[in-house]
């Protein structure tokens, strides 16, 4: 007897959740004896469903939705002693965790893989009582997220955020940040600070090319003051080479970092605004297991 809970956000991405539900249920039925399908109706439903799946010792919980839905599912199981294996069917715009795990961004293909994909360990991050699976950003990205319209997001995907971010570089002075970790301290100004668990940030799969999903590390990028054209020149590196070795970037890895500011700055976690500084961010090394194709 094996049980899986399939949690679907019907509003994610292009609202394709209902269309893919039947195929997903059928595919999971090849692997598990019982498939419990739940549709979310509002914020935190996915967290509550996933928590219940952990408490009732389901073998697996599959999140079908955008990064917000996957984050909610992870939040639901992270705190539990018994944690079901996670499955992901990406329906959103960015889908960073799916990219990092080599899970196809085509929903049908991602569903097919769940029939027999092996599981592998997965790091997640924690700050205060929040969890994240991909990225924490402080600074310009928060502005960019608010400026991007739904139409831009649908037609341009992650490039829309980059364009809005570039515009914001022109209009804003950098933010005062104090950062403290065993490996490094920083007290200065930055337009953008990024802490990543995986290689894919904002849909750019080469952003943190050193990062592995189970390396037990936070990858910290402090972008130094940039002009608009410096930022534009960084684009090829973003698309292909990774930005850790760019002149305008301070990069290090750690397991825990505290970030503070004399300003009341919002933070962005996995693409959504979530709380304010100060925060202490830590990695929970290999805290979850996740179904994913055999990685390269
Ligand atoms: N039935 C629903 N109708 C509207 N909103 C919902 C529903 N169920 C859940 N939600 C909310 O939708 C939020 C966003 O969902 P999600 O991130 O999965 O999709 P998305 O925004 O389209 O994806 P992406 O950000 O990758 O483009 C969830 O955090 C949740 O609060």
Q: Where are the domains of the chain?
A: 3-117, 135-285
Which of 91-95, 172-176, 190-194, 258-262 is least confident? 172-176
The average pLDDT across 200-222 equals 89
Does residue 83 sit in helix, strand or coil?
Answer: coil
As for the ipTM of the complex, it is 0.94
Instruction: Give 99-153 pLDDT, tens digit per residue.
Output: 999 999 999 999 999 999 999 999 999 998 899 999 998 887 666 666 666 566 5
Position 168 scores a pLDDT of: 62
Best of 69, 144, 151, 157 to mutate for ligand 1, by most ligand atoms within 8 A of CB? Answer: 69
For ligand 1, atom 9, name the residue with the nearest CA.
42
Q: Is the CB of 190 under 6 A from ligand 1?
A: no
Rg over CA atoms, the chain: 19
Position 165 scores a pLDDT of: 62
> Would you put residue 13 in left (φ > 0), alpha (ψ -120 to 50) or beta?
left
For the chain, give the mean pLDDT: 87
Is residue 81 annotated as a catalytic residue, yes or no? no
Please report which confidence band the pLDDT of residue 226 belongs to, taking 50, 70 and 90 as the band edges: low
The average pLDDT across 7-23 equals 86
Question: Measured in Å, how far apart are the chain's first and last C-alpha atoms?
Answer: 32
**What superfamily in CATH does domain 3-117 come from?**
Probable inorganic polyphosphate/atp-NAD kinase; domain 1 (3.40.50.10330)
Ligand 1 atom, smallest distance to 39 CA: 1
Angle at 261 between CA 206 and CA 214, to 5 degrees: 35
Query: What CATH number does the domain located at 135-285 have?
Result: 2.60.200.40
Whole-number Cα distances in Å, 256 to 217, 253, 281, 287: 9, 9, 6, 15
Sign of CA dihedral 254, 260, 263, 268: positive
Pairing state between β 272-276 and 266-269: antiparallel
């Amino acid at each position: 007897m094996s049980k899986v809970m399939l949690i679907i956000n019907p509003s994610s991405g292009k609202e394709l959740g209902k269309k893919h539900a039947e195929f997903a249920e059928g595919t999971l039925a090849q692997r598990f004896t019982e498939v419990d399908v739940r549709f979310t109706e509002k914020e935190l439903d996915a967290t509550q469903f996933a928590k219940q799946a952990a408490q009732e010792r389901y073998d697996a919980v599959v999140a079908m939705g955008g990064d917000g839905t996957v984050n909610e599912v992870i939040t639901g199981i992270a705190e539990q002693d018994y944690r079901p294996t996670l499955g992901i069917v990406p329906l959103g715009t960015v889908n960073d965790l799916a990219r990092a795990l080599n899970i196809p961004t085509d929903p049908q293909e991602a569903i097919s893989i769940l029939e027999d994909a092996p599981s592998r360990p997965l790091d997640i991050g924690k700050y205060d009582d929040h969890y994240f699976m991909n990225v924490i950003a402080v600074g310009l990205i928060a502005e960019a997220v608010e400026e991007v319209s739904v139409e831009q997001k649908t037609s341009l995907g992650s490039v829309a955020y980059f364009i809005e971010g570039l515009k914001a570089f022109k209009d804003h002075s950098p933010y005062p940040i104090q950062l403290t970790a065993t490996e490094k301290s920083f007290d200065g100004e930055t337009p953008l600070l990024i802490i990543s668990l995986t290689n894919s940030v904002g849909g750019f799969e080469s952003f943190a090319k050193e990062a592995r999903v189970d390396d037990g590390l936070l990858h910290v990028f402090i972008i130094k003051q940039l002009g608009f054209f410096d930022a534009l020149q960084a684009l090829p590196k973003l698309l292909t080479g990774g930005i850790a070795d760019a002149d305008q970037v301070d990069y290090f890895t750690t397991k825990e970092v505290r970030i503070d500011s004399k300003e009341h700055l919002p933070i962005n976690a996995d693409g959504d605004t979530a709380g304010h500084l100060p925060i202490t961010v830590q990695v929970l090394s290999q805290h979850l297991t996740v179904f994913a194709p055999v990685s390269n």
